[in-house]
Chain A
Amino acid sequence: MSHIKNITLKIWRQDGPSAQGRFETYKVDSVTDEASFLELLDVVNENLLNDGKEPITFDSDCREGICGTCGLMINGQSHGPEKSTATCQLHMRKFTSGDVITVEPFRASAFPILKDLMVDRSAFDRIVESGGFITAPTGGAPDANLIPIPKPVADAAMDSAECIGCGACVAACPNGAAHLFTAAKISHLNLLPQGQAERYKRTEAMVETMNEHFGSCTNHGECEQACPKSISIDVIAIMHKDYRKSKLKNRKELARNK
Chain B
Amino acid sequence: MSNWQTLESKGISSKIPKGSVEDKWLGYKEDLKLVNPNNKRKFKVLVVGTGLAGASAAATLAELGYEVEAFTFHDSPRRAHSIAAQGGINAAKNYQGDGDSVHRLFYDTVKGGDFRARESNVHRLAEVSVNIIDQMVAQGVPFAREYGGLLDNRSFGGAQVSRTFYARGQTGQQLLLGAYQQLARQVGLGGVKLWTKVEMVDVVTVDGKAAGIVTRDLVSGEIRSHSGHAVLLCTGGYGNVFYLSTNAMNCNVTAAWRAHRKGAYFANPCFTQIHPTCIPQSDETQSKLTLMSESLRNDGRVWVPKDRDEKRSADQIPEEERDYILERLYPSYGNLAPRDISSRAAKRSVDSGLGVGPLKNGVYLDFSAAINRLGEPVVAERYGNLFEMYERISGENPYKTPMRIYPAVHYTMGGLWVDYELMTSIPGVYALGEANFSDHGANRLGASALMQGLADGYFVIPYTLGNYLAPMLNKPAPGVDHPAFKEAEQAATARYTGYMNIKGTRSPDYFHRQLGKIMWDFCGMERTKESLEKALGEIPALYEEFQKDLRIPGDMALNTTLEKAGRVDDFFQLGMLLCRDALEREESCGGHFRAEYQYDDGEAMRNDEEFAHAAAWEWTGDPMQSIRNIEPLEFEAIHLAVRSYK
A contacting B, Cβ–Cβ less than 8 Å: yes
- Which A positions have Cβ atoms within 8 angstroms of B? 1, 16, 31-36, 38-40, 42-43, 45-46, 48-50, 52-55, 57, 59-69, 82, 84-85, 89, 91, 93, 114-115, 118, 120-122, 124-125, 128-130, 132-145, 148-151, 154-155, 157-158, 161-162, 164-165, 188-189, 192, 194-195
Query: Which among A39, A61, A84, A91 has the highest number of chain B CB atoms within 10 Å?
Result: A61
- Note all chain B residues with C-beta closer than 8 A to A134: 138-140, 181
Number of A-B contacts (CB under 8 A): 227
Is B75 in contact with A141, judged by CB distance below 8 angstroms? no
- Note all chain B residues with C-beta closer than 8 A to A57: 558-560
Query: Which among A57, A69, A121 has the highest number of chain B CB atoms within 10 Å?
Result: A69
Compute how far the CA of A151 lies from the CA of B288 in the bound complex, rounded to whole angstroms.
Answer: 36
Is A66 in contact with B558, judged by CB distance below 8 angstroms? no
Listed from nearest, the 6 A-B pairs whose CB atoms lie closest are A148-B149, A129-B188, A133-B181, A141-B138, A136-B138, A34-B282
Which of B39-47, B76-84, B327-335 forms contacts with chain A?
B76-84
- Note all chain A residues with C-beta closer than 8 A to B78: 67-68, 125, 165
Compute how far the CA of A255 lies from the CA of B459 in the bound complex, rounded to whole angstroms.
Answer: 40
Residues of B223-264 whose CB lies within 8 A of A: 246, 248-250
Is B76 in contact with A125, judged by CB distance below 8 angstroms? yes
Give the bracket for the number of chain B residues in contact with chain A.
Answer: 35 or more
**In the assembled complex, how far is the CB of residue A207 from the closest CB belonging to chain B, in whole angstroms?**
15
Is A42 in contact with B140, judged by CB distance below 8 angstroms? no
Compute how far the CA of A52 lies from the CA of B93 in the bound complex, rounded to whole angstroms.
Answer: 58
Would you call B287 an interface residue if the criterion is a C-beta within 8 Å of the partner chain's C-beta atoms?
Answer: yes
19 contacts between A and B (CB under 8 A): A16-B558, A31-B285, A32-B282, A33-B395, A34-B283, A46-B507, A62-B81, A64-B290, A122-B76, A128-B184, A134-B139, A136-B182, A141-B137, A142-B138, A144-B137, A154-B142, A158-B144, A161-B177, A194-B140
- Note all chain B residues with C-beta closer than 8 A to A69: 74-75, 79
Is A62 in contact with B84, judged by CB distance below 8 angstroms? yes
- Which B positions have Cβ atoms within 8 angstroms of A? 56, 59-60, 63, 74-81, 83-84, 93, 95, 131, 133-140, 142-151, 167-168, 170, 172-174, 177, 180-182, 184-185, 187-188, 196, 219, 246, 248-250, 282-283, 285-288, 290-291, 358, 388-389, 392-393, 395, 458-459, 462, 505-507, 509-510, 551, 553-554, 557-561
Compute how far the CA of A56 lies from the CA of B557 in the bound complex, rounded to whole angstroms.
Answer: 14
Compute how far the CA of A67 lies from the CA of B458 in the bound complex, rounded to whole angstroms.
Answer: 22
- Note all chain B residues with C-beta closer than 8 A to A39: 285-287
Compute how far the CA of A28 lies from the CA of B476 in the bound complex, rounded to whole angstroms.
Answer: 59
Compute how far the CA of A120 lies from the CA of B290 in the bound complex, rounded to whole angstroms.
Answer: 26
Compute how far the CA of A164 lies from the CA of B145 in the bound complex, rounded to whole angstroms.
Answer: 22
Given contacts A63-B290, A125-B76, A144-B137, whether A118 and B558 have CB atoms under 8 Å apart is: yes
Compute how far the CA of A42 lies from the CA of B560 in the bound complex, rounded to whole angstroms.
Answer: 12
| Minimum CB distance partner of A166 in chain B | B79
**In the assembled complex, how far is the CB of residue B124 from the closest CB belonging to chain A, in whole angstroms?**
16
- Note all chain A residues with C-beta closer than 8 A to B168: 158, 162
Is B150 in contact with A115, judged by CB distance below 8 angstroms? no
Partner of B75, one of A59, A139, A155, A162: A59
Is A145 in contact with B95, judged by CB distance below 8 angstroms? yes
Partner of B81, one of A61, A118, A142, A148: A61
Is A32 in contact with B135, judged by CB distance below 8 angstroms? no
**In the assembled complex, how far is the CB of residue B632 from the closest CB belonging to chain A, in whole angstroms?**
34
| Minimum CB distance partner of B93 in chain A | A144
Known: A64-B246, A137-B60, A161-B167. 4 other contacts (CB 8 A): A32-B285, A66-B170, A135-B185, A161-B142
- Note all chain A residues with C-beta closer than 8 A to B185: 129, 133, 135
Given contacts A138-B56, A194-B137, whether A145 and B150 have CB atoms under 8 Å apart is: yes
| Minimum CB distance partner of A205 in chain B | B188
- Note all chain B residues with C-beta closer than 8 A to A161: 142, 167, 174, 177
Compute how far the CA of A60 lies from the CA of B75 in the bound complex, rounded to whole angstroms.
Answer: 11
Given contacts A145-B95, A148-B150, whether A137 and B75 have CB atoms under 8 Å apart is: no
